[in-house]
Amino acid sequence: MRGCRTRTLPFFLILIISMTAAELPAAPIADYRPALVPFIGEGGKVLAATRRFLRGAEARFLVLDPERFAFREMDSQAVLAAPPAPDGAWRETPFARALARHTSPPFPLQNNGLREAERPVPGFFLTADLCPSGRPLDRVLFAELAALPLKKPLPVALALSGRWVRQHPEDFAWLKGQAAAETIAVTWVNHSLTHPYDPAAPAERNFLLGPGIDFQAEVLGLERLLVEEGLLPSPFFRFPGLVSNQRLVEELASLNLVPVGSNAWLAKGERPRPGSIILVHANGNEPEGIRLLREFFTRQRETFRQRDAVLLPLREAFGQP
């Protein structure tokens, strides 16, 4: 009898588990924390777990691929059972080197971090910020993207704030739907949980430099929201207002996130050139930026059609050895 059960149960067990997994709501995320566990993954590649958390009762890690600048979620047992990376191996990876380059002095108050591609690239990087806003998502931007003579999904980096998600659950669901339908390929950039802003305060005491801000909670809170929504964060952060100082940048480095600025904030009159990180706001607060983006797309239409230039995912902006 016992032997019979061991032969027959696994099949039914698998069936039951797969049915239950499909029907149950996603398990809640808890205990979301930074980590740094470099290890040797498949093919001898150096990887590192940089976040740990509980998904229901299961211990999980977010594991960063330092060549693709992308996360995957892994069971903690698989990470902890892997051979540890040799001393210093993580620091020599393309990601760790890029992080060091973009978080070292000087520490300008405005626009610190990656502002354009580090190597010649045949295209542009589109970033759109979703700061808190009373207005709905500017869907015109996505209609413009979908109309481009370029192969889908179209890469776009969306700098997401948690407060915007809470204000616009339907727009957020629509964006997730666009990504799931592979109209767009979204790099979800962390733009902080609450995106504090005081219109009366000077930059040095505004945004995440305001009084009483818990920077780590702002960073990890937004990531946790993404993970709860079934999305993978990216290892990129855009400072609200593009405002930061040495303390914030060093804290960001310790959390293994690269700051991303822009050299082509369209509404400020900056014009894109190849390799530019273009900045617009998709939160309805900057129609002038969207208008200028439409003009830019119109000017580029023929180069896009000929594939002389394309839109590129943010990870391809990094390229120094």
Residue placing its CB nearer to Zn ion in the complex, 41 or 241:
241
Residue placing its CB nearer to Zn ion in the complex, 161 or 256:
161
Q: State the distance between the two ends of the chain, measured CA to CA, in whole angstroms.
A: 62
> Which residue in 162, 235, 240, 289 binds Zn ion (CB under 5 A)?
240
Q: How far apart are CA 75 and CA 59, in angstroms?
A: 6
Question: Nearest approach, Cβ of 129 to Zn ion (angstroms)?
Answer: 5
Q: Which stretch binds Zn ion (CB under 5 A): 86-94, 133-141, 150-158, 232-240?
A: 232-240
3-state SS assignment for residue 65: strand
Instruction: Evaluate whether 98 touches 318 at the Cβ level (below 8 Å).
Output: yes
Strand partners, 154: 184
Question: Nearest approach, Cβ of 200 to Zn ion (angstroms)?
Answer: 17
Q: How far apart are CA 282 and CA 272, in angstroms?
A: 18
Residue placing its CB nearer to Zn ion in the complex, 60 or 281:
281
The binding track of 73-112 with respect to Zn ion, each residue x by CB under 5 A or -, is: ----------------------------------------
Instruction: Examine residue 279 and tell whether it contacts Zn ion (CB under 5 A).
Output: no
Instruction: Evaluate whether 235 touches 49 at the Cβ level (below 8 Å).
Output: no
Instruction: Examine residue 243 and tell whether it contacts Zn ion (CB under 5 A).
Output: no
Instruction: Examine residue 284 and tell whether it contacts Zn ion (CB under 5 A).
Output: no
Residue placing its CB nearer to Zn ion in the complex, 60 or 191:
191
Which residues 122-141 are close enough to bind Zn ion by CB under 5 A? Answer: 129, 131
Instruction: Evaluate whether 162 touches 210 at the Cβ level (below 8 Å).
Output: no
Strand order of the β-sheet with 29-40 is 29-40, 46-55, 58-65, 70-75
Residue placing its CB nearer to Zn ion in the complex, 131 or 150:
131
Question: Nearest approach, Cβ of 317 to Zn ion (angstroms)?
Answer: 20
> Angle at the Cα of 166 (from 161 to 169), degrees rounded to 5?
110
**Where along the sequence are the contacts to Zn ion (CB under 5 A)?**
129, 131, 240
